[in-house]
Structure 1
Amino acid sequence: MEKIVITYSDKYLNYNFGPNHPFKPYREAKLMELLRQHGLVGTYVDVQEPAPATDEELLLVHTKEYVDYVKRASIDGFGYLDYGDTPAFKDAHEAAAVRVGGTLLAARLVYEGRYLHGFNPGGGFHHARPSEAAGFCIYNDIAIAVRWLRNRGVRRVAIVDVDVHHADGTQEVFNSEDVLLISTHGYDGRFYPGTGWIDEDGVGAGKGLKVNIPLPPGTGDDVYFMVIDEVIKPVLERYRPEFLVLQFGVDAHAGDELGVLNLTTHSYMKVLDLVHKVAHEYASGRLVMTGGGGYDVWNTVKTWFLAVIQLVNPGDLSRYSFLMDPEPTQTPLRHYEEALYVIDALKGRLGL
């Protein structure tokens, strides 16, 4: 059994774009409810409440001009923080800062050796760039936590991002740095954000360490299993990370209203199992997981719940088999060959 720390605050509920927006801030509260119902809090799970990230911490990644802009927009809460899908709302800065604080706290507790694993379900805002919001993301908590770790001498940090959308903001932050970023995402040239083709592989010190795995719409578990075994696993083993960060957005799930992929809990548990094993093999177990996308609330909550079980006591997963999706999905033939082309082309490019 391995204990995990979950960073959570009821203030996460304040990250609220309104009742008609697809981002539902109560997902994390539902997860905590479920964990308590099953007696996991206090046994397998410790919960710690984060403080908001300070301006100094936000400035590890974001520009002062941008942070000041968000603060001004937070006073009245009108308009948008980007080009139209991230509305401003009253006290948006404070609501975003506490979620960043959750990822920083998880990273600090794992870095200090107080826990092997940390999970901030209220994090994962991978679209935010240094000077702009995007895709419901105000501040990029993942990039801030990784920069915090690197400033403390942790050099080989690997980020694995399984959200259905490309980790474009995180990629921009570390594009020229020797941070490994693996992003699996839906891609057809139009799907948001429209980036993340295999040729986006970094520059300078980051060259070859930005591994984009663009998957055609309808990609199922059969192809994703191949991606895990034939691309993600050898890339992680070659990099030999000292610390791992897993962005665990559940919008690649077949039931997600904003997604285009057809994955199930089987893919999510398989990729988590790999990352967990790599963490123990190369990084002394040091793994921080964040939430991310996930717009079907129940699918998101149950997948995060299963992830906690997988990390702390995988032998208990059979007790919760009723939460697993029944069968792995198959990729339609018209997309299967396209997906194989992507995998083969990427393996050739990476020398796998």
Structure 2
Amino acid sequence: MTTLFDPIAVGDLPLANRIVMAPLTRNRSPHAVPGDLSVTYYRQRATAGLIVTEATAITHQGQGYANVPGLYAPEQLAGWKKVTDAVHAEGGKIVVQLWHVGRISHTSLQPGGGKPVAPSAIRAKSKTFLVAADGSGSFAETSEPRALEQSEIAGIVQDFRRAAKAAIEVAGFDGVEIHGANGYLLDQFLRSGSNHRTDAYGGSIENRARFLFEVVEAVVGEVGAGRTGIRLSPVTPANDSSDPEPQPLFEHVASELGRYGLAYVHVIEGATGGARDFQQGERPFDYAAFKAAYRDAGGEGAWLVNNGYDRELAEAAVKTGRADLVAFGKLFIANPDLVRRLQQGTALNAPDSNTFYGGSSKGYTDYPTAA
């Protein structure tokens, strides 16, 4: 019987167990550079079978929140190299999540104070996190975006490619995860609620998915399919994300992804950080059909599930074969030794939501391990 604690090969990555640390934005990288606190934070959690880092901007234009890390400047890559070295020294595996936020940004975070970019000039009903001159943080409404010119899209595809290359060759990551979820740029193109284009990147499902597949092809061509994963969120309303017909959209996405030989597919079930049974459209989303579309198209990558999992639900998902890997988010924030706690049935620390975003070591690296 397969358990959470059994090893597994995920693409080119041999993992010690099937417990994954989910990507978690923590806003503790001033000037977009991971520092010593980040080194400690990730080292503490290296017993996870796989760590997926917090979302990391591929370019300055891709930034959407204050004090989140990047992959586009030498000092950022050097900071990440210290993190990967620390995780590897503890025997862990770590991949970086490649991020372009699109319209979920603010002019104060963009190059030259310009407008954020999006598939269409539709302002998101969402907020971002800003830091004032005195160091205090607060949430603010996102800025009105501008629609990308079709001629600009190829450049962003190359930005993803360059970031992936730097992540592996310079920063020392074991792989990369393409962020195609939660209402950020790739997801904005997928969904009819945010994509009103009339060119080759809008209208039909095939057109709206075109950008995503161009990014996947570029990243896989640069670092290899065995080091590449992707994150998707079929029905989440995060960041004003909406589509009335997610089932045919994401079954098409799954079918096309099946031909790339990806290491894994990372699926957020339901509303990100919320109800697992959340639905968009007239009927509940069929996750089994979504997975079947991927497998039927030849997709052999590990199936990674996420959102609201506890030990019992995670064990059942792995035991039944519904999932190969299970991601934990808030539980990893509060429990750096989560793998051991789950294995031994030890009581879990409760996360302090007041320290999730921004701040110092408090609520970041000071959670105790079990005796």
Q: TM-score, normalised by structure 1?
A: 0.38
Normalized per residue, which structure has more strand?
Answer: 2
Normalized per residue, which structure has more helix?
Answer: 1
Q: TM-score, normalised by structure 2?
A: 0.37
